[in-house]
Amino acid sequence: MFTPFIQFLIIANVIGFLLQGLLGPAAIYWFALWPSPWTETFAAPWTLVSYSFLHGSLTHLLFNMFALWMFGSDLERVWGARRLAFGYFLGVVIGAIAQIVVGDAFGGRGLPVVGASAGVFAVLLSYAIVFPSRTVMLLIPPIPMPARVFVALYGALELVLGVSGSASGVAHFAHLGGMLGGWIAYRFGTSVARWNRRR
C-alpha cells in the first residue's frame, strides 16, 4: 500500500527517468548536479533538487524506489506527508551541498550527480530513529539486524568509502548529507509542521 507522498515521489521519479530517456544528454546537462565549480550551481539553483529526479540506470531507479516504499511508507503513517516531505527534500538539498563542498575535496570535481539517494538516506535515518528495533534484512548477505544497527553500519561504510575514494562514481557525501537532513527532520520536524498549520 502506497502512502500519498511516497506514491507522489515514485511517480515523479519514474516520469523523470522517462523524460531523461527522451531528452538524452540534455537532461544531465540542465538538471543534474554539477559539483564544481560553484558558479555553475549558483547559475542553475534548481539542480539542488532536480538532480534527485534523474537516475543513472533503471536498476538505480528501482533500488531507490524500493527503499522509499520499504522505509518511507511506515514513516509517513507516523509523521504524515508534510513532515516526511520536509525531511526528504531537506536531505536532497543538504546532500547536494555536502557533495559540492566535501565530495569535491575527495575527487568528485566535475562529475555530475544524479539520483534520489540523498532523500532516501534521509528517510532511512529517520526510520531508524523512529523504529530503532525493527528488523531490517540485508540483501547481500541476507543478515537480519535492528534498523539502528543497519543504518549506523551503512553510514560508517559511506564515510569510509567517501574518504578513501575506493568506490568511485558514487556520491557518498550526498548520502551522508541526506542523513543529516533526516536527523533535522526528526529533531525539528514537529515544530515545522506546527508552524505550517498556523499559517
**What is the phi/psi pair of residue 113, to 5°?**
-110, 130
Report yes or no: 73 and 3 within 8 Å, Cβ to Cβ: yes
State the cell numbers at 11.
511517480
Average pLDDT over residues 155-161: 88
**Contact yes or no for 66/6 (Cβ under 8 A):** no
pLDDT digits (tens, 9 = 90+) for 21-37: 999 999 998 999 987 65
Contact 174, 99 (CB under 8 A): yes
The C-alpha atoms of residue 199 and residue 183 are separated, in whole angstroms, by 24
Number of domain units in the chain? 1
Mean pLDDT for the stretch of residues 60-81? 94
Helix (H) or strand (E) holding 160, with range, is helix 147-164
Q: Which amino acid is at 82?
A: R
- Give the 3-state DSSP-derived string for 82-132, with helices as H, strands as E and coil as C: HHHHHHHHHHHHHHHHHHHHCHHHHCCCCCCECCCHHHHHHHHHHHHHHCC
| pLDDT tens digit sequence for 100-146 | 888 666 655 567 899 999 999 999 999 999 999 998 877 667 888 89
Query: CB-based burial of residue 165 (10 Å sphere; 0-12 exposed, 13-18 middle, 19+ buried)?
Result: exposed
> What CATH number corresponds to the domain at position 132?
1.20.1540.10
pLDDT at 168 over 70: no
Give the residue among 192, 194, 175 at the shortest CA–CA distance from 63.
175
Q: Which residues contact 111 (CB under 8 A, 6 or more apart)?
A: 35, 169
Q: CA 74, 75, 81, 85 torsion: positive or negative?
A: negative
The confidence score (pLDDT) of residue 188 equals 86
pTM: 0.87
- What pLDDT shows up at residue 166? 63
Q: What pLDDT does residue 167 have?
A: 59
Looking at residue 169, what is its pLDDT? 72
For the residues 142-160, what does the mean pLDDT come to? 89
Is the pLDDT at 196 greater than 70, yes or no? no
* Cis peptide leading into residue 141 (ω within 30°): yes
Burial class (CB in 10 A: 0-12, 13-18, 19+), 121: buried
Mean of pLDDT values over 68-83: 94
Domain that holds residue 122: 4-198
Average pLDDT over residues 57-66: 94
Predicted local confidence at residue 136, as pLDDT: 86
pLDDT of residue 88: 97
What type of residue sits at position 111? L
Query: 120-129 pLDDT, tens per residue?
Result: 999 999 999 9
Give the mean model confidence (pLDDT) for residues 59-84: 94
* Average confidence score pLDDT of the chain: 86
